[in-house]
Amino acid sequence: MKKLIKRVVLLVLALGIAGAGWLTWYAARPQGEVARLLGKGDSIKLGVYTLDRPLTPLQLLDTFERGEVSQVAVQFIEGRNLREVRAVLAAQPLLNQDSATLSEAELAQAIGAEDGRLEGRLFPDTYLFAPHSSDLDVLRRAYRLQQQKLQAAWETRAPGLPYRTPYEALIMASIVEKETGAAFERPTIAGVFINRLRLGMRLQTDPTVIYGLGERFDGNLRKVDLQRDTPYNTYTRSGLPPTPIAMPSEAAIRAALNPDKTDALYFVSRGDGTHVFSSTLEAHNRAVNRYQR
């Protein structure tokens, strides 16, 4: 979708076809040649623009730069955590920053989350609002939508899963979301983790360790980090971590609740975004030697 939007923006800029009433649209930050050549590629404001008069390409680009939006667009991306979501909101000048001083517990209470925990409970999507809406309205809508998606998936879950509550499935979905960038692998990744839970094996998944490190993580996960115990270290602790570690997509939620039936217990990255799955430690070690050493 984002690539298509960029192409539409560039087409309008290149052909000069922005006439009065021609469109109401959602404009992403185009990285194309026209905006770059004019030095405005990084200043385009995200939002919906309604054109009520004919504009030349340069006038149109100037409108995007000034942010003369009829609706504000806020994008939450799957795999991002709550700290990153709050940074997205803080960077949006056309929203009222009513959540800025609130703790996570206060924020959860303000939008109707029952237990004070918001991590993973916001649905990743693009939300449109009138300028100067409260950022709490954005969060409230994202929270309600994630609850709806989770409940719908829970009602169609596979039998015999080791989850006591939908919230535990959400935790698993967040791990699945962080473990692979290949959408087709999500059900298999979930299947591996389900197998490990059933056998009492530790999940041993790096994204949970990274989340537990918080802002101390510098991009390099070290052996000492894997050995340092935190509530999120699934190398030192059994079972699921206490909360989700990111916003899972609907696809990740459905994978967690309808995982592949597999005998795999291990996986290792090939280095291209996909993984090799193994059912024995011996086979896994061979894959590690091939792809990681």
For the record, the structure tokens of 229 come out as 């115990």
Give the up-direction half-sphere exposure of residue 146: CA atoms within 13 A in the CB hemisphere: 34
209 falls within a domain: yes
101 falls within a domain: no
The letter for the amino acid at 175 is I
Instruction: Give the pLDDT confidence score for residue 10 in this predicted structure.
Output: 43
Instruction: Give the pLDDT confidence score for residue 96 in this predicted structure.
Output: 93
Among residues 20, 49, 69, the one where a domain terminates is: 69
pLDDT average per 10 residues of sequence, the chain (293 residues): 45 42 38 49 64 73 72 91 96 92 95 92 93 93 97 97 97 97 95 97 96 91 93 97 97 98 95 93 94 82
Same domain, 62 and 182: no
284 falls within a domain: yes
Instruction: Give the pLDDT confidence score for residue 132 in this predicted structure.
Output: 87
Same domain, 164 and 50: no
| Buried b / exposed e along 154-171 (16+ C-beta atoms within 10 A) | beebeeebebeebbbbbb
Among residues 69, 96, 118, the one where a domain terminates is: 69
Q: In total, how many domains does the chain have?
A: 2
Nearest alpha-carbon partner for 96 in 133, 65, 67, 121: 133
Instruction: Give the pLDDT confidence score for residue 42 in this predicted structure.
Output: 60
| Residue 73 · residue 48 · CB < 8 Å | yes
Residue 54 belongs to domain spanning: 2-69
**Segment (H or E) for 267:** strand 266-269
For the record, the structure tokens of 261 come out as 């039936």
Instruction: Give the pLDDT confidence score for residue 41 in this predicted structure.
Output: 52
What are the backbone angles phi and psi of residue 247, rounded to the nearest 5°?
Answer: -85, 115
Instruction: Give the pLDDT confidence score for residue 12 in this predicted structure.
Output: 46
Going by the DSSP 8-state scheme, the letter that residue 159 receives in this structure is T
Instruction: Give the pLDDT confidence score for residue 23 in this predicted structure.
Output: 39
Instruction: Give the pLDDT confidence score for residue 38 in this predicted structure.
Output: 52
| Residue 104 · residue 116 · CB < 8 Å | yes
125 falls within a domain: no
90 falls within a domain: no
Same domain, 271 and 164: yes
144 falls within a domain: no
Among residues 21, 43, 69, the one where a domain terminates is: 69
167 falls within a domain: yes
> Cα dist. 133→25, 36, 121 in Å?
19, 31, 21
Between CA 170 and CA 168 the distance in angstroms is 5
76 falls within a domain: no
Between CA 180 and CA 174 the distance in angstroms is 11
